[in-house]
Amino acid sequence: MTESFISIRHLYKIFGRDPEGAMNRVRKGMEKDELLELTGHVLGLSDINLEMEQNKVQVVMGLSGSGKSTLIRLLNRLIEPTSGEVLIDGADVLAMDAKELRELRRHKMSMVFQRFGLFPHRTIIENTGYGLEIQGINQVEIKKRATRWIERVGLSGYENYYPAQLSGGMQQRVGLARALTTDAEILLMDEAFSALDPLIRTEMQDILLDLQEELKKTIVFITHDLDEALRIGDNIAILRDGEIIQTDNPQNILMKPVDTYVADFMKDINRARVLRVHTLMKPLDTYANGPNMLSSTTLEQALQVFAEQSTSQTIIVNGNGEKIGKLTLDDLIFGMKRPTIEEIKEDLGSTSFSDSIDTATSSIN
């Protein structure tokens, strides 16, 4: 694995009057519920460990109240962590003084907000250039760079409008353009598309994926929408009640959910559209034959090929055309099946989840 670009180590966030005191209790092993009951402190995030690779999209997924919006704000210290370590490109964020922190926010990381966070009194171009203005760059340069990004997100002609004159989707394009204009390497996106209509949301995801292909930013993307997570994430961390319960790539999360909670999430997902044939392929053997198929093909597309070519086997090839495996129709059908509780248990090799399984069984089987 490549060197991680952002590392979060043993990160805690406790809300309340005396977080330090509460932290000591947590260190001694006090649980979340007990802490709330005894001291009135909320353990917002507990022992978060996450390594993020450079130029990749790290999704943090969780339901409301799971602490995901808190987590992303700990990265640029919009919220102060209670304990732990955040390293960005080797620099310890928590050790920074106010000035260093401002420099980090100005040049290294920018942010996109759920409700856009645009400045209502500034025009689109003034909003887009805000980050540069804060850095003290001259107006001519700001205008040049802001115009370029407004154009890039498809809002040319709206430069002198105010945010209130634009639709939600257009406003978030401004939010995105504003974040990109500072040329920060890291993009923090806090439920950036959650407030948008489904159609617009898909459109924005396309814009983001399109931009990412070219820009190769390191993106931390918060969402409560698994479809979105699977679509844009190179890696997904699932957050529940302030703890990360699984971190893996989308394929593995679908194939090997770590417990019934995660499995429950997956049940409405169209697996054929997310899973790719390389996840299901078997090693090549001498009997392998059939048409070649790219390893990144989705099961849905693969099914189409099987049907059109009326074959029962394909050879999987990678981007360089090398044969790397085979896929039979049976494998493909098997891959469509959701893992059962028994299989999840087997993978885990433990029975510690027995109590939660009862509740989840009905919804999964």
> Which residues are near other proteins by CB under 8 A?
76, 78, 101-107, 110-111, 113-122, 130-131, 133-135, 162-167, 178, 182, 188
- Work out the angle between the directed axes of helices 32-39 and 19-27 (0-180°, nearest 10): 140
Shortest distance, position 162 Cβ to other proteins, whole Å: 4
Among residues 162 and 261, whose Cβ is nearest to other proteins?
162
Cβ partners under 8 Å of residue 319, min gap 6 = 294, 295, 296
Question: Quick count: other Cβ atoms within 10 Å of Cβ 335?
Answer: 20
Q: Tell me which DSSP letter residue 65 carries.
A: T
CB of 167 to other proteins, least distance (A): 8
Q: Smallest distance, Å, CB 174 to other proteins?
A: 11
CA 28 to chain centre: 32
Measured CA to CA, the distance from residue 321 to residue 318 in angstroms comes to 5
Estimate the crossing angle of helix 329-336 against helix 299-309, to 10 degrees: 150
Tokens representing 167 are 């639709």
Q: How far is the CB of 249 from other proteins (least distance, A)?
A: 28
Q: Which is nearer to other proteins, 35 or 150 (CB)?
A: 150
**Nearer to other proteins by C-beta: 179 or 211?**
179
Kindly tell me which of 117 and 339 has the beta carbon lying closer to other proteins.
117
Residue 119 or 334: the one with the smaller Cβ distance to other proteins is 119
CB of 165 to other proteins, least distance (A): 5
Q: Which of 234, 274, 238 is nearest to 255 (CA)?
A: 274
DSSP H helices in the chain: 19-27, 32-39, 68-75, 98-103, 124-128, 130-135, 139-152, 168-181, 198-215, 226-232, 250-255, 260-266, 271-274, 277-280, 299-309, 329-336, 341-348, 354-364
* Cβ nearer to other proteins, comparing 16 with 117: 117
Query: What's the closest the beta carbon of residue 364 comes to other proteins, in angstroms?
Result: 37
The encoded tokens of residue 103 equal 């420099």
Nearer to other proteins, 138 or 289 (CB): 138
**Token pair of 50, please?**
């996450």
Give the nearest distance from C-beta 85 to other proteins in angstroms: 21
Smallest distance from other proteins to CB 130, Å = 6
Please say which residue, 122 or 267, places its beta carbon nearer to other proteins.
122
| Among 364, 302, 362, residue whose Cα is nearest residue 330 | 302
